[in-house]
Structure 1
Amino acid sequence: MRLVILCFWIWAASAAAAAVAGSDMEALLEFGRGIRQDPSRRQAAPWNPTSSSDSDGCPVDWHGVQCNGGQILSIAFDGIGLVGNASLSALARMTMLQNLSLSGNKLEGVLPRALGSLASLQHLDLSNNRFAGSIPAELTKLSNLGHLNLSSNGFGGALPVGFRSLRKLKYLDLRGNGFVGKLDDIFAQLQSPVHVDFSCNQFSGSLASISDNSSVASTLQYLNVSHNVLSGPVFASDPTPLFDSLEVFDASYNALTGNVPSFNFMISLKVLLLQNNKFSGSIPEALFRETSMVLTQLDLSWNQLTGPIRRVTSVNLKYLNLSCNSLQGTLPITFGSCSVVDLSRNMLSGNISVVHTWGDYVEMIDLSSNRLTGTWPDQTTQFLRLTSLRISNNLLAGELPTVLGSYPELIAIDLSLNQLHGALPKNLFTAAKLTYLNLSGNNFAGTLPLPSSETNNSTTIDLSVLPVQTSNLSFLDLSNNSFGGPLPSGIGRLSGLVLLDLCLNNFTGQIPTSITKLKHLLHIDLSSNHFDGSIPDGLPDDLVEFNVSYNNFSGPVPSSLLKFPDSSFHPGNELLVLPRSASPNSPEGSGGRKHGMKRGILYALIACVIVFVTGIIVLLLVHWKISNWKSSEKGKGQNKNSATQGQDAPQRRAEIPSSEMHDVSLGSSPSAEYGGVSVPRGGMEGQHEAQCVDQPTGSISSLKDSSASSMPSLISSPSDVRSHHHQSILRVHSPDKLVGDLHLFDNSVLFTAEELSRAPAEIIGRSCHGTSYKATLDNGYVLTVKWLKEGFAKSKKEFSREIKKLGSVKHPSLVSFRGYYWGPKEHERIIISDYVDATSLSTYLSGNGSQLSLHQILASADLYVF
């Protein structure tokens, strides 16, 4: 009898196991029915239910499935390109499932509440898919869960309360979603996590209370809360010796304030990223000390830090980025073992020659946009590992040393926008690995030291230094200098060139035919030189930019270049023949040139007459105003009618159309409500932060000349302008944002292109050059933003040179330029200056303003003539 009972129980257990196994297989097949594409073909296609099973009861042709006794323990379908609607509720029936990993696919769906029934689940990874919705509270019932990764999906909403019950949770990654809520409350629920990544969400609150949770502070090794909307200080006033296990701390791209902590208490900290916040004060010296910590990466860029940079003696620090602050003083005499040093966009001064005391560990140096003087020292042969040298936009002077061409690993050199002069070292074009060379905006002269391709016995150029392999240069910008003479035929040996910019120099002669050997060339600018002869035929068909205007070319234009507009060839080149226009040798062409000359003379005469008449009118106005002032002093009113008749002329004044692109404020818009716009923070220049997906809601970059049609005409009386402005102030919303290059002439007011993007904008005027807007930054600083019309600025280098020159002009009646923005599109050209709330001269002359004094009248007249 006992034997019968034993057999019965064995049979019942086997039947139950078979039923469970069959249930798991059915659940997996149900999940498979939602898969529309399986490009890897690693699973049985189409998820065949008749597939044979192995000894553990798993389908033999299903990769990534592990079983035990016919029950599924693990499903790992990572990165195989599955597309479809994932039925996770079907998988929730697998009672023994311990690992569910579906990362790196294109699966859709939501997290069902049934997932809370997977009591055995230890590892859940759904990262890099298309899941959406909120996290159900039932997920916090997975008491055995140790690894949870939901990153890079479309989840949103607040996290459920109950993470406190996940006592075994060590790895938590929620980055790249749309979660919201107070980070303080979330950390208060965590027990003993090791890896926490909340980056690229919309979490708010502060980090000050993290140290209150001793269980978190003592076990945490990796913490990333970047790209959120956190505020306040980093930690409480005294964090005590906690976080002794923390190795990586990334709180970049937030709105954290206060001083940067010394982090003495974090004895294991290796990576510290706090860029793009609002930290102020000086940098703690403890971060640079030799024995204080094991820090290897430090990024404090894009903050509001001040003070000098002390000695860097740490032997562990390899990456140091302090760019875009307001640091002052001279360069440190040592940088320890740093391999990357970025101090660009600060207010550092002193002689650059101090770099000769730096060690031989340096690989990348960026000191751009400071106030450094001197020239690069020749005694710097220790930089055998140097790959990138950028010192643009400083006050460097003198000649380039030959040592620059001797660095064996050097890839990029940018010394643009300085005051360097003299000839270029010959070895600069034979450097073994140099691919990027930008020396634009200096005073270099002489001929280019390129070897001639016609002779191997040149007495002026040593060809023995030229390697057998042609130069690796792909970017060569020598624009806005004083180079002269013919362009050497050796230009053809720079076979890797992609960009060649020689504009605004004094080159002469014909372009050598060897330039047609540059088969990879995409951008070429030879404008504003003295080239003559014909344009060589055979340039690459893939050219996307070509400019030879302001030269003396003649003859027909090669057919491959006819795709470029006339502005690529004219002005200048009067003898150049474009098939789409009349030939210069034909009677029509000759007559056209004569007619054009007559028309030019006529325009010049008209301009002179207009200037003369304008001057007379201004003098008459001043004289009339003085007379009116004298008569009012005597209490006489007999000139009142004549004064009324003279009001119309000044009222017809518009904004000054200056050929030098100066945006002078002649009037102010009345205050009115306008729509503020904002753009969420996104990734910028950081090399270590996670990449986030922005969802912009509006920006100042949406303001284009098309919106100018809604602005009232300035050719009216001031009262008409005021009434019209009240009707035309716009609420501007657009999904665009500024992603180009923002250049500021000084560091008195620092802001980013992203901050300018989200600045509320109000139209205040327009001219023949473009439209002006009043923009208010996050910190309340008000700017005048001049958006230039499309096609107004063609060359970035010429535009930069002119704006920088005009920005240095100082005059009591002028508002100096603060900087400019050059975007990737032709219509994204912006001039930036301080906003001045001043009443226009026409308001006073029309009788709508208070009485001007004689001194004010003369000052205004001086401004108007300019």
Structure 2
Amino acid sequence: MLCFKFFLCLLLLASAAGVHSLDPTLNDDVLGLIVFKAGLSDPHSKLVSWNEDDPTPCNWVGIQCSPVTSRVTHLLLDGFSLSGHIGHGLLRLPFLRILSLSRNNFTGEINPDLPRLLPGLRVVDLTDNHLSGEIPDGFFQQCGSLRFVSFARNDLTGRIPASLTACSTLSTLDFSFNRLSGELPTGLWSLTGIKSLDLSDNSLEGEIPEGISSLPDLRTVSFRKNSFSGQLPPDIGSCPAVKEVDFSENSLSGPLPETLRKLKSCVSLSLAGNSFTGQVPHWIGELTSLESLDLSANNISGIVPTSIGRLSQLKHLNLSMNQLLGDLAESISSCRNLFSLDVSRNQLASSNLSSWLFNLAALHNLEALNLSSNALSGEIPPSIGALASLLVLDLSSNMLNGTIPSEIGAAVSLVKLNLNNNLLTGNIPSDINNCSSLTSLILSKNKLTGPIPAAIGDLTSLEFIDLSFNNFTGTLPKELTNLSHLLSFNISHNNLQGELPVGVFFNSIPPSSVAHNPSLCGSVVKRSCPSNHLKPIVLNPDSASSDSSPESSSSHHYHRKVVLSISALIAIGAAAFITLSVIAITLLNIHVRSSISRTAAAAAVAFSGGGEDFSCYSSGSDSNYGKLVMFSGKADSLAGCHDLLNKDFEIGRGGFGVAYKTMLQDGRSVVIKKLAVSSLVKSQHEFEREVKKLGKVKHRNLVAMEGYYWTPSLQLLIHECVSGGSLYKNLHDEASRCLPWRQRFNVILGMARGIALLHSMDVVHYNLKSSNVLIDEGGEAKVGDFGLARLLPTLDRCILSGKVQSALGYVAPEFACRTVKITEKCDVYGFGILVLEVVTGKRPVEYMEDDVVVLSDVVRRELEDGRLEECVDVRLRAEFPADEAIPVVKLGLICASQVPSNRPDMEEVVKILELIQSPADGQELME
């Protein structure tokens, strides 16, 4: 410490006397970096290698030096969780070329002295911090050879400084996701070397001036989500290299400038959410490189030109929320690569929907089709089944009539089906049970009749069902209780009868969802159901034999008496047995319910945030009452807490316990994990301390813990409910659709980011496997069940290792009971196996007839034989970028190294994946 203070003193002297007055044997770079570090908070000791006693910093973490001069050229501290201000120490680094501090927690204003470094800097990346205030006016006056600047995702205010126009060498500028305001600086278009310009998600205003044509190398431009007005710059089309144009969600108006037709290389054009007028221009078909076209939410009218069919590369087309007329389908059918088509909320009309869908059936890649809120009429044709790749179909709010064809069952990939607000009649076809991936079935406001088919109970992924405002009759099928993922179920305004199904969802269904069914009964509708009594045993004393002789009659009369006596005895005995059984069962039920009530009574809750007592049942003074804490601070209770003892609502089991799905009183679904290791759980104080730490872990790629419940004999963990199923199910369930490569890569990157955050907070997952990774409705990966080992005493982890670490194939080889040390490297190994599982589509360990196949061994052999591409899941049919897939597989193998020290940290893994995803950007950054 004394040495460090001595260095600071030297630095102060240097500031007063000039740099060259220092002893030449002292390294300025060491001084500057140590002073910079002194002003930081480093919660995870990422900078522990920064030692003021070192003669050079070239071996420090995050530092790169010139091989010629040994002076610091790169400062790369991305994602280190550092906080504090960006201090003056950096001014001691005159040879610094790349300054990258993204994804940290730096606060305060941008250091106004930082421009003194700019003459030598080529890259300044302060993305994703908490910087505030204005960008100093003269910040860019001496920007020298600056090529890359990003202040994106901060909280900066004020205007874009006019000095920016002096940066003639700038190629990338990103000020997105701030609160910048005012007009664009005069001379912005003088940055003639700019390739990427992103000013999106700010509060910039005024008109966009002409002159953008002076940027010959412009590739991407985004002014999305600002308040720009006036017309689109008329010379926008004079940027021949531009590939992505996004001026969506502004207040631009007027017709689309004709110069846009020159954007022959443009891949993505988004002008949505403005006030553009006129028609879709006929020259739109000349933009043959377009893959995405979004003109939604404007005032565009007229007929869509047939030339749009020449966009053979088009994958996404959105023309919704305009005033379009006519019939679009014939020209669209030539866009054979189309994935999504949204023309909803227009005035499109057709008296023959069959012709529409017949033409669209040629689009074999179509996954999302939205024709809602138009004037389409006619029947839904059987050809609907030809759209086998369709995931989303929305035909709502039209004038469709006829029945729902049974061929709908051939659209086996359907996830969302919306036929709401039409004139459809007939029954729901039972063939709909073939659509096993359905999560949303909306058929409300039609004229459908008949019973609700039991086949709906086979659609176990359903989350939303709306059958309201129809003429359905009959009773509700008991198979509806199979729908364990239900979040919403509406059957109001029908003629259904009988009792509602019993179950965790139906026990707490809102009354409005079942209203206006006069013959429905049950507690929810406050109408008792008629009792079902046993029919009395009836003996027929008049039954006689066909023999009519007196002797025979007498004999038979005597025989009948004997038989009747025996029959009567049997009947009486049977009746007595039944009565006794009923009594016994009733007493047993009373006893069980009493026991359950006593157990559930322990679920009385005391909310620290709400300041009031709550109970799943009636509250009382029982000392066994437990404590329920919701991290949101809102008082709530588990509407289905009494169902935790019912196996019908169990959704999974693991080494730590059993998981159930239930609902809070506000109707929100949650997952409850009932810990099965109560005898080994820490004391209440330690348990609550550790759980609250886990509750603070928040990330888009982690399953959020929302609360907990404690009694000495029962501990519950409350997590958010993630609707898309586990990664295991999505990869290995035959009924699931094959995940495309892009989603697989995003899942891998999402898992890495989630685990990296856990490690940055000193949380080790301990039990990584594909069943503990969930996929949300947007396809994002969420890692769950993390940090549960923290709830157990250290000495007991070894005892539980065989039970909890039960996922064969994911366990690091050094994980041995006697010598176990739970480290982050164990998680890295499990992550590596997960990467291989996602890319190959194969389980970590598979059992053959006479052999056991270990996935990591197979992939290593293929790498050694130069056949790594053959490891990629065959279902992708070579539709994957080899330049991404191969490096990802190699990364998985490195993470799954047998030697822990060879495995990278998860922060490094994230960086590598981001470079793999965009190698060109990464290369440019490091040049």
TM interval, short-chain normalised: 0.5 to 0.7
CA displacement 1:82-105 (0-9 Å, x = unmatched): 2x1133322122111111001122
Following superposition, the deviation at residue 301 of structure 1 comes to 1.9
Residue number among 221, 241, 246 corresponding to 1:245 in the alignment? 241
| Contact 2:176–2:202 (8 Å) recurs in 1 | yes
Following superposition, the deviation at residue 123 of structure 1 comes to 0.8
* Residue aligning to 2:781: none
* Residue aligning to 2:123: 123
Following superposition, the deviation at residue 17 of structure 1 comes to 9.9
Q: Does the C-alpha gap of structure 1 residues 231 and 535 become closer, same or farther in structure 2, counting only changes over 3 Å?
A: closer
* Residue aligning to 2:492: 527
The range that moved more, 547-556 or 191-200, is 547-556
Matched, 1:298 2:284: no
Aligned residue for 2:393, secondary structure, equals strand
Matched, 1:478 2:443: yes
Matched, 1:496 2:461: yes
Q: Please give the alpha-carbon distance, in whole angstroms, between the structure 2 residues aligned to 1:257 and 1:210.
A: 19
Aligned residue for 1:162, secondary structure, equals helix
Q: Please give the alpha-carbon distance, in whole angstroms, between the structure 1 residues aligned to 2:170 and 2:404.
A: 62
* Residue aligning to 1:204: 205
Q: Please give the alpha-carbon distance, in whole angstroms, between the structure 1 residues aligned to 2:188 and 2:21.
A: 43
Following superposition, the deviation at residue 430 of structure 1 comes to 5.8
| Contact 2:183–2:205 (8 Å) recurs in 1 | yes
Amino acid at match of 2:384: L
CA displacement 1:278-298 (0-9 Å, x = unmatched): 222223211223xx6533332
Q: Please give the alpha-carbon distance, in whole angstroms, between the structure 1 residues aligned to 2:522 and 2:266.
A: 67
Matched, 1:44 2:40: no
Aligned-residue RMSD, C-alpha:
3.3
Matched, 1:71 2:71: yes
| Contact 1:553–1:574 (8 Å) recurs in 2 | no
* Residue aligning to 2:217: 219
Amino acid at match of 1:569: V
| Contact 1:58–1:67 (8 Å) recurs in 2 | no
Matches within 5 A, 1:657-736: none
Matched, 1:280 2:277: yes
Q: Please give the alpha-carbon distance, in whole angstroms, between the structure 2 residues aligned to 1:209 and 1:542.
A: 63
Name the count of aligned residue pairs: 503
Q: Please give the alpha-carbon distance, in whole angstroms, between the structure 2 residues aligned to 1:20 and 1:351.
A: 88
Q: Does the C-alpha gap of structure 1 residues 181 and 409 become closer, same or farther in structure 2, counting only changes over 3 Å?
A: same
Matches within 5 A, 1:383-782: 383-429=363-409, 431-450=411-430, 471-540=436-505, 545=510, 547-553=513-519, 556-557=522-523, 569=525, 573=527
Q: Please give the alpha-carbon distance, in whole angstroms, between the structure 1 residues aligned to 2:515 and 2:428.
A: 21
| Contact 1:554–1:574 (8 Å) recurs in 2 | no
Q: Please give the alpha-carbon distance, in whole angstroms, between the structure 2 residues aligned to 1:140 and 1:435.
A: 55
Matches within 5 A, 1:262-273: 262=258, 263-273=260-270
Q: Does the C-alpha gap of structure 1 residues 193 and 487 become closer, same or farther in structure 2, counting only changes over 3 Å?
A: closer
Amino acid at match of 1:272: L
* Residue aligning to 2:97: 98
* Residue aligning to 1:323: 320
Sequence identity of aligned pairs in percent? 28
Q: Which has the higher contact order (CA 8 A, sep 6+)?
A: 1
CA displacement 1:238-268 (0-9 Å, x = unmatched): x498322222222222222222112234343
* Residue aligning to 1:26: 31
Amino acid at match of 1:327: L
| Contact 1:279–1:304 (8 Å) recurs in 2 | yes
CA displacement 1:93-146 (0-9 Å, x = unmatched): 211111100112221122222212213211111011111122221432121211
* Residue aligning to 1:108: 107
* Residue aligning to 2:188: 187
* Residue aligning to 1:723: none
Aligned residue for 2:245, secondary structure, equals strand
Q: Please give the alpha-carbon distance, in whole angstroms, between the structure 1 residues aligned to 2:170 and 2:25.
A: 28
Q: Does the C-alpha gap of structure 1 residues 549 and 303 become closer, same or farther in structure 2, counting only changes over 3 Å?
A: closer
Q: Please give the alpha-carbon distance, in whole angstroms, between the structure 1 residues aligned to 2:509 and 2:61.
A: 50
| Contact 1:522–1:543 (8 Å) recurs in 2 | no
Aligned residue for 2:269, secondary structure, equals strand
Q: Does the C-alpha gap of structure 1 residues 229 and 396 become closer, same or farther in structure 2, counting only changes over 3 Å?
A: closer
Aligned residue for 2:497, secondary structure, equals strand
Aligned residue for 2:227, secondary structure, equals coil
Q: Does the C-alpha gap of structure 1 residues 406 and 516 become closer, same or farther in structure 2, counting only changes over 3 Å?
A: same
Structure 2: gaps (5+ residues)? 1-18, 532-927
* Residue aligning to 1:173: 174
Q: Please give the alpha-carbon distance, in whole angstroms, between the structure 1 residues aligned to 2:375 and 2:510.
A: 31
CA displacement 1:748-792 (0-9 Å, x = unmatched): xxxxxxxxxxxxxxxxxxxxxxxxxxxxxxxxxxxxxxxxxxxxx
Aligned residue for 1:113, secondary structure, equals coil
Structure 1: gaps (5+ residues)? 1-13, 357-375, 452-464, 558-567, 578-866
Aligned residue for 1:420, secondary structure, equals strand
Aligned residue for 2:500, secondary structure, equals coil
Amino acid at match of 2:47: Q
Q: Please give the alpha-carbon distance, in whole angstroms, between the structure 1 residues aligned to 2:246 and 2:303.
A: 24
Q: Please give the alpha-carbon distance, in whole angstroms, between the structure 2 residues aligned to 1:479 and 1:153.
A: 44
Q: Please give the alpha-carbon distance, in whole angstroms, between the structure 1 residues aligned to 2:288 and 2:522.
A: 69
| Contact 1:331–1:350 (8 Å) recurs in 2 | no
Q: Does the C-alpha gap of structure 1 residues 21 and 293 become closer, same or farther in structure 2, counting only changes over 3 Å?
A: farther
| Contact 1:246–1:266 (8 Å) recurs in 2 | yes
TM-score (norm 2): 0.50
Q: Does the C-alpha gap of structure 1 residues 189 and 205 become closer, same or farther in structure 2, counting only changes over 3 Å?
A: farther
* Residue aligning to 1:714: none
Amino acid at match of 2:254: G
Following superposition, the deviation at residue 75 of structure 1 comes to 0.5
Q: Please give the alpha-carbon distance, in whole angstroms, between the structure 2 residues aligned to 1:386 and 1:276.
A: 24
Aligned residue for 1:27, secondary structure, equals helix
Matches within 5 A, 1:783-794: none
Following superposition, the deviation at residue 535 of structure 1 comes to 2.3
CA displacement 1:451-480 (0-9 Å, x = unmatched): 7xxxxxxxxxxxxx976xx82222112223
Aligned residue for 2:107, secondary structure, equals strand
| Contact 2:141–2:164 (8 Å) recurs in 1 | yes
* Residue aligning to 2:687: none
Aligned residue for 1:169, secondary structure, equals coil
| Contact 2:86–2:110 (8 Å) recurs in 1 | no
Q: Please give the alpha-carbon distance, in whole angstroms, between the structure 2 residues aligned to 1:90 and 1:177.
A: 26
Q: Please give the alpha-carbon distance, in whole angstroms, between the structure 1 residues aligned to 2:521 and 2:345.
A: 47
| Contact 1:34–1:86 (8 Å) recurs in 2 | yes
The range that moved more, 540-549 or 380-389, is 540-549
Q: Does the C-alpha gap of structure 1 residues 66 and 472 become closer, same or farther in structure 2, counting only changes over 3 Å?
A: same
Aligned residue for 2:140, secondary structure, equals helix
Q: Please give the alpha-carbon distance, in whole angstroms, between the structure 2 residues aligned to 1:556 and 1:434.
A: 33
Amino acid at match of 1:473: L
Q: Does the C-alpha gap of structure 1 residues 241 and 135 become closer, same or farther in structure 2, counting only changes over 3 Å?
A: closer
Matched, 1:310 2:305: yes
Amino acid at match of 2:135: I
